[in-house]
Amino acid sequence: MPSFLIDEDMPRSLCRVLCDSGIKAVDVRDVGLRGGSDREVFEYALAHQQVLITADMGFSNILQFPPTGHSGIVIARFPNELPASIITRALLQAIHELSEVDWEGNTIIVEPDRLRMRRKR
Q: What is the pLDDT along the chain (121 residues), one digit of tens a residue?
A: 899 999 999 999 999 999 999 999 999 999 999 988 999 999 999 999 999 999 999 888 888 887 777 899 999 999 988 999 999 999 999 999 998 888 888 899 999 888 888 776 6
> Cα–Cα–Cα angle for 23, 6, 65, nearest 5°?
115
Q: How many domains does the chain have?
A: 1
Amino acid 104: pLDDT: 87
pTM: 0.92
Closest CA to 104 of 74, 83, 81, 84: 74
Percentage of the residues of the chain whose pLDDT score is greater than 70: 98
Residue 54: domain span = 3-118
DSSP assignment, residue 26?
E
